[in-house]
Structure 1
Amino acid sequence: MDNQIQQQSCINLIAEAIFVCEFHDIVGNAIVYCYPEDELKKDFDQIQDFVIPKDELCGKLIITEFRQHYYVLGLPILLRNKEKEKIYSREKYIFNICIMVRKEQYLSRKFWYQEITRKLAFFFTSLEIETHFIYKNDKKIISEKIQNLYQSLNSEKECLLEYNEEQYVFIKYIDSIKPQGVEDNIIEIKDYLVPLPLFSNLLYIYIYNLFNQIISIASKALDGVLEQFDSELYKVFKEVNGEKCVKKISRELNKDLQKLKICLKNLYYHNMIKFVDIFRLNNHYQVTAKIHDFMQNQQLQQTCIRYILVNPERKIDPSEIIYLYLQFQKQKSVQDIVLENRLRFEKINLVQFVHFGIIHELIERVHLYILANREIDLFNEINIQNLINEEEYKTSKKPNHMKHNSNQNLISIKNAEFKDFVRKNAPLDQILVEFQISEELFRSIQDISNIQLIYR
């Protein structure tokens, strides 16, 4: 490594080096440009088969160990000639934008480095499609972009890469955006949690226009690349309304649950969403110790009032808001509290009142759990129909006895799954979401199944 990297490595550079590589028509795998220029070129043979891999691995994120203390991240791109436009002499072209980072730095921010690698691949691919600047080895553009990226990230922790008004990408290091209460930016997203947008609908329009500008250019040749980029974030963000849980969004978008969670993490880490629980009137909450800070924070009180008022022209005293939050106790449901304070709640949007309390940790959910004294069979011939596509059974030509056997098999499977959730001490919210049954239905079959519920 050159002196610049050696002197700065002790301060944990965001990127130790950034380089562009390609499969060259004559020399094969080669580095097009690297910044800072160091000894990486002579060691390139150690990683060349990983950063410029076989065709089937293009469009996939690849992380390679390098020189014992580093990782190299890249997402190789494969472009092909069009029928009427012969740009590449070998009919196809493979290139990659790679980031070299110290192991400890990468391990502390895995998610961020992976997402930024994808985003850079998206940007440089859209630019390459239009200008062919990497294939033509336009050193001026390449060096300008790579140097700007390296210097801005390591000095400012953010960078704006742009080519014209329609081709740009903004990158920000998430170390400066650490969600409250989350250690090392790690969050476990449960299937039954509800993502809540933190911005107005105007942001949807802005994001839609912004993404469409970029995607309209790149969509021509990004078949394997667009899968986990901004276009997907937009589709997911559009479904976030504070009502649908993660599992429901996954079903409606027909999107793999784990990929959806990656998108939601991205939105969460950039403070575009928070997670709340499914709102029901019979939910139980209890006030937390943070209510004392809220009592002293007049600015947060006014923010709360602006957020929860049904009519902004009506007035409400902060003391009333504090009083209502203090009513949340383990043994009381939301409905109980509303009935006891009808006049106060006339001015307030109840759902937003609860959500504000959860987001700012003024209240916390008291979950409902199943307490069973014996093995429980929740599903039977009647309630199993809630898990079966009725239209499929209406149009089925199978004999009745075959349908009955099919039902019995499904009942057996679902009861085994249900028992497993009970043994794992899963909250009722998780069970209802997993089996797609309403709480009303669940409560109606409690007595049959000898189930007791407890709040804790």
Structure 2
Amino acid sequence: MDVETQFKKTRIKNIRIDGPIRCIFFCEFHHTAGPIISCQDPENFISKELFDSISVYIITKAELQRSVITVTLQNYKILGFPIRIDDKDKYVRNAFHFNLCFVCDSDARTVQYESVVQKFSDYLVAREMESSFLSQGKVSTKLAPLLAQVKEELNTKGECALIEGATTTHLKVCRIRLDPSPVKDHQVPIFIKEISEQPWDLTTQQVTPYIDGFNHIAKIASLSDVQNNLVKACIQNLVYYGVVALVPLFQYGNVYCTTPKLKMMAQNLELQCKCLNYVTKSKRQLPTVRDVFRLYAAMTRGTTIRDLCIRFNPSNLRINERKLVQFGVLEGIIRRVHKYPVLLTDEPDELEKSLSGESSLDELCCSIGVASQQLEDQLERDHNVMLLWK
């Protein structure tokens, strides 16, 4: 595996699992006491008063049995999967009602735990059917270590194995990805992960050969002879699965500025190694960290990439300026400073109708099919148009 591929692999970030589990409790319908919490970890996390106020939503009626329920309170969000086991001979009231619940912060996302709660509940049903694990004896003594194990391992590792004799039940938190933002014509896709050998759909197979980190969506659609909206859907799908990231269109007239992450280039040896191998013009002779750092540090508002090339001559420093920008954007070391044209008059022509300040120069160039420098020169000669940088 070459260094560039290794860099792309390490760029994939784990999708954050929101909302650590604060508590797991097991509640049941007692034939004399009614709904009660029989066991919880940590102990007394959910008070009796709080549980009594919401028990009607936890120990539910038949219509909600075996359905994922979520109860949101001021401080907590409770996720459960109410269960009813019917057996006229075994239970006093002909059935055993229980609910195993996860408790998270009220503003946390809990959808990733839904399948875990259901599978854990089914595991307890199986043990109850086999040995009356829940309904006989002191349930808290038997369940307490189990709840503690599940909470600890799901919070730290995202998975847990429940071993019972020769049978093992695996609980694993599903990592839920957020839907990516809509893809725009002027955005540039770049692979950040090797595309797998799995049989992708025909559109993806037709589009991926033209993803090189520099072709924008509109150009890819033209080169691949695929409809623009289909290319956007394809790229959005690849972004969702962490195969592709979107970066701004590279042009020598672009302006970038550094972020606070620039200091990592001076401190992190691993990042330095990745950067040098990624931006070098030749694998046989790498540039120096000093030269790369100087180029990044010189990226300020008002300074174009063309200005930097004239000033530093990156080629003589063994640096590929296009890859330098690409690496900096992907790592968050630099960010693009966009130009937004704003019309100052009330009587626009056809072009000027787009000059509301909502569309960047890149978007306008792609939509009307002209070079960025040509459009910028035209707009700068128009005294009724102001360019905003942000």
Provide the residue aligned with 2:340 in structure 1: 369
1:428 to 346, 356, 360: 360
Q: Secondary structure at the match of 1:252?
A: helix
SS at match of 1:356: helix
Higher relative contact order (CA closer than 8 Å, sequence separation 6+): 2
2:149 is equivalent to residue 148 of structure 1: yes
Letter matched to residue 46 of structure 1: S
Q: 1:300-343: per-residue Cα shift (whole Å, max 9, x none)? A: 43232134346644422223323432443433433564577362
Q: 1:167 aligns with which of 163, 170, 176?
A: 170
Find the counterpart in structure 1 of residue 233 from structure 2. Answer: 252
Aligned length: 310
Contact 1:96–1:121, Cα closer than 8 Å, also in 2: no
Shift of 1:152: 6.2
SS in 2 for 1:50: helix
Residue aligning to 1:49: 56
User: Aligned partners of 1:62, 1:311: CA distance in 2, in Å?
Assistant: 59
Q: CA deviation at 1:283?
A: 2.8
| TM-score, with structure 2 as normaliser | 0.53
Change (3 A) 1:329 1:95: same
Contact 2:190–2:213 (CA under 8 A) maintained in structure 1: yes
Residue in 1 that maps onto 2:6: none
Alignment equivalent of 2:125, drawn from 114, 123, 132: 132
- Structure 1: segments with no counterpart, 5+ residues: 1-13, 66-70, 82-88, 101-105, 173-188, 209-240, 384-414
Residues in 1 aligned to 2:264 and 2:273: alpha-carbon distance in whole angstroms = 14
Asked if 1:279 corresponds to 2:249, the answer is yes
What SS class does the counterpart of residue 287 from structure 2 fall into? coil
In structure 2, what residue type is equivalent to 1:161?
A: C
Query: Structure 1 residues 17, 347: CA separation in 2 closer, same or farther (over 3 Å shift)?
Result: closer
Change (3 A) 1:345 1:27: farther
One-letter code aligned to 1:168: L
1:367–1:190 Cα change, 3 Å: farther
Task: Tell me if structure 2 keeps the 8 A contact 1:78–1:95.
Answer: yes
Q: 1:121 aligns with which of 114, 125, 130?
A: 114
Q: Does the 8 Å CA contact 2:235/2:244 hold for their aligned counterparts? A: no
Aligned to 1:35: 41
The residue type paired with residue 146 of structure 2 is: K
Q: Residues 128-277 of structure 1 correspond to what in structure 2 (within 5 A)?
A: 128-129=121-122, 132-133=125-126, 136=129, 138-139=133-134, 142-150=143-151, 160-163=159-162, 167-169=170-172, 200-201=193-194, 252=233, 277=247
- SS of 1:18's partner is strand
Secondary structure of the structure 2 residue equivalent to 1:132 = helix
User: 8 Å contact 1:76–1:94 — kept in the other structure?
Assistant: no
* Greater CA drift, 342-351 or 324-333: 342-351
* Mapped partners of 2:48, 2:231: distance in 1: 44
Task: Output the amino acid matched with 1:145.
Answer: L
Alignment partners' CA distance in 1, 2:310 and 2:368: 21
Aligned-residue offset at 1:376: 7.0
Q: Distance in 2 between matches of 1:191 and 1:376?
A: 31
- Paired residue type of 1:48: S
Mapped partners of 1:339, 1:331: distance in 2: 15
Give, in angstroms, the shift of residue 372 of structure 1: 1.5
Equivalent residue in structure 2 for 1:322, among 287, 293, 302: 293
The alpha-carbon distance between structure 1 residues 451 and 61, as it changes in their structure 2 partners (threshold 3 A), is farther
Residue 357 of structure 1 corresponds to 328
Match of 1:64 among 48, 68, 73: 73
Structure 1 residues 278 and 80: alpha-carbon distance in aligned structure 2, compared to 1, 3 A threshold: farther
> Structure 1 residues 253 and 97, CA, compared in 2 at 3 Å: closer, same or farther?
farther
C-alpha distance 119-197 of structure 1, shift in aligned 2 (>3 A): farther
| Cα deviation 1:62-120 (Å, max 9, x = unaligned) | 3124xxxxx33233447899xxxxxxx999x98452316xxxxx47xx3xx42xx3333
Q: Take 2:358 and 2:310, find their aligned partners in 1: how far apart are those partners?
A: 30
Q: Find the aligned partners of 2:70 and 2:359 in 1 and give their Cα distance.
A: 35
Is this contact kept in 1: 2:153–2:160, CA < 8 A?
A: no
One-letter code aligned to 2:76: V
Shift of 1:367: 1.9
More helix by share: 1
Q: Is the 8 A contact 1:60 1:75 kept in 2?
A: yes
8 Å CA contact retained: 1:52, 1:96? no
In 2: Cα distance, 1:195 partner to 1:27 partner: 63
Q: Post-superposition shift, 1:373?
A: 0.6
Structure 1 pair 324–120 and aligned structure 2 pair: CA distance change class (3 A): same
CA shift, 1:379, in A, is 6.4
5+ residue gaps in structure 2?
1-19, 86-92, 199-211, 218-228
Give the TM-score, by structure 1 length: 0.47
How far is the alpha carbon of 1:47 from its aligned partner? 0.8
Aligned to 2:26: 20
